[in-house]
Chain A
Amino acid sequence: MVEKLKSASELTNLRERIIANRDPSKSVVSICIGTGCTALGAKKVVEVLGEEIKSKNLEERVKVKQTGCLGFCEVGPRVIVYPEEISYFKVKPEDVPEIVSQTIMKKDVVKRLLYVDHGTGETATTLEDVPFYKHQQRILLEKNAKIDPKDIEDYITLGGYDALPKALFQMTPQQVVELVKKSNLRGRGGGGFPTGRKWETTRNAPGEPKYVIANCDEGDPGAFMDRSIVEGNPHSIIEGLIIGAYAIGAHEGFIYVREEYPLAVENVNIALGQAQEHGLLGENILGSGFNFTIRVHRGAGAFVSGESSALISAIEGTVGEPKPKYVHAAIKGLWGKPTCLNNVKTWAYVPLIILNGVDWFRSIGTKNSSGTAIFSLVGKVNNTGLVEVPMGITLRNLIYKIGGGIKDGKKFKAVQTGGPSGGFIPEQYLDTPVDFDELTKVGSMMGSGGMIVMDEDTCIVDVTRYYANFLSDESCGKCVPCREGLKQIVGILNRICAGSGREEDLKTLDDLSELLRDASLCALGSTAANPLTTSSLYFKDEYEEHIRNKRCPSKVCRDLIAYYIKPESCQACLICLRNCPVKAIAGEKSIVHVIDQEKCIKCGMCIEVCPFDAIEKLSPAVPPTASYGIKVTPKKRR
Chain B
Amino acid sequence: MLNAPMKPADDRKKPFFVGLRMTKEERSILDKIQEKVGLTKTESLLKGLEILSEYYSLGLDQPPLSFELKKLEEEAIQHADALKRIRRREDALKEIIHELRIIDQIVDKYNDKNALIQILIDIQNKFNWISKTAVIWISERLEIPTSSIYQIATFYKFFTLTPRGRHLVRVCLGTACHVRGGPKVMETVERTLGVEQGDVTSDGKFSLERVNCLGCCALGPVIVVDNDYYGNFKTADVGKVLSKYS
Contact = CB atoms under 8 A, between A and B. Distances in A.
**Direct A–B contact in the complex, CB atoms closer than 8 angstroms:** yes
A73 B219 contact: yes
Interface in A196-230: 218-224, 227-228
Interface string B187-219: 110010000000000000000000111111111
Contact of A301 (B158, B216, B220): B158
Contact of A224 (B118, B211, B215, B227): B215
A40 B219 contact: yes
B217 A378 contact: yes
Given A298-B118, A300-B121, A40 B156 contact: no
Interface string B108-141: 0000011111101100000000000000000000
A260 B219 contact: no
Interface residues of B, number: 47
Nearest to B173: A221
B121 A259 contact: yes
A259 B120 CA distance: 12
B114 A224 contact: no
A609 B234 CA distance: 12
B176 A378 contact: yes
B117 A314 contact: yes
B213 A219 contact: yes
A378 B219 CA distance: 9
A379 interface: yes
Contact of A261 (B151, B215, B229): B215
Interface string B132-174: 0000000000000000100110011111000000000000111
A321 B151 CA distance: 11
A221 B184 contact: no
Given A302-B155, A474-B212, A39 B219 contact: yes
Contacts of B229: 35, 38-39
Contacts of B116: 317
Contacts of A38: 229
Given A72-B218, A301-B156, A384-B217, A608 B235 contact: yes
A466 interface: yes
B179 A458 contact: yes
Given A463-B179, A603-B188, A298 B214 contact: no
Nearest to B188: A603
A421 B159 CA distance: 26
B235 A303 contact: no
Nearest to A318: B148
Nearest to A466: B178
Of A301, A316, A317, A416, the most chain B CB neighbours within 10 A belong to A317
Contacts of B28: none
Interface string A52-77: 00000000000000000001111010
Nearest to A220: B213
Nearest to A301: B157
Interface string A280-319: 0000000000000000011111110000000000111111
A35 B215 contact: yes
A36 interface: yes
B215 A303 contact: no
Interface in A55-101: 71-74, 76
B222 interface: yes
A376 B215 CA distance: 10
A385 interface: yes
B155 to A, nearest CB: 5
Contacts of A317: 113-117
A39 B230 contact: yes
A615 B120 CA distance: 51
B236 interface: yes
A604 interface: yes
Interface in A376-397: 376, 378-380, 384-385
Contact of A603 (B174, B180, B184): B184
Nearest to A225: B215
A222 B184 contact: no
A521 B235 CA distance: 40
A303 B211 CA distance: 11
Nearest to A230: B215
B188 A73 contact: no
B191 to A, nearest CB: 6
Nearest to B117: A300
A151 B72 CA distance: 48
Contacts of B216: 35-36, 39, 73, 224
Nearest to A605: B235
Given A72-B218, A227-B215, A260-B213, A320 B155 contact: yes
A301 B160 CA distance: 12
A259 B227 CA distance: 13
Nearest to A385: B218
Contact of B213 (A224, A297, A319): A224
A248 interface: no
A384 B218 contact: yes
A452 interface: yes
A303 B212 contact: yes
Nearest to A582: B191
B151 A319 contact: yes
A446 B80 CA distance: 51
B175 to A, nearest CB: 4
A39 B222 contact: yes
Nearest to B231: A39
Contact of B217 (A224, A262, A603): A224
Of B116, B157, B218, the most chain A CB neighbours within 10 A belong to B218
Contact of A604 (B158, B174, B184): B184
A64 to B, nearest CB: 21
B124 to A, nearest CB: 8
Contacts of A261: 214-215
A38 B215 CA distance: 12
B156 A218 contact: no
A221 B213 contact: yes
A450 B121 contact: no
Interface string A117-133: 00000000000000000
Contacts of A357: none
A219 B212 contact: yes
A585 interface: no
Given A581-B191, A604-B184, A36 B218 contact: yes
26 contacts: A35-B215, A36-B216, A36-B218, A40-B231, A40-B232, A71-B218, A73-B219, A219-B213, A220-B213, A222-B174, A224-B216, A260-B211, A260-B213, A300-B121, A300-B156, A301-B156, A301-B211, A303-B212, A315-B114, A316-B114, A319-B152, A384-B176, A416-B175, A420-B175, A463-B175, A476-B155
Interface of A: 35-36, 38-40, 71-74, 76, 218-224, 227-228, 259-262, 297-303, 314-321, 376, 378-380, 384-385, 416, 419-420, 450, 452, 454, 458, 463, 466-467, 470, 474, 476, 581, 603-605, 608-609
Given A224-B217, A318-B148, 16 more contacts: A228-B215, A299-B156, A300-B120, A300-B156, A302-B156, A316-B114, A317-B113, A317-B117, A319-B151, A320-B155, A376-B176, A378-B176, A379-B180, A384-B176, A463-B175, A463-B178
Which 7 interchain pairs have the tightest Cβ spacing?
Answer: A221-B174, A301-B157, A39-B229, A300-B156, A224-B215, A317-B114, A73-B218
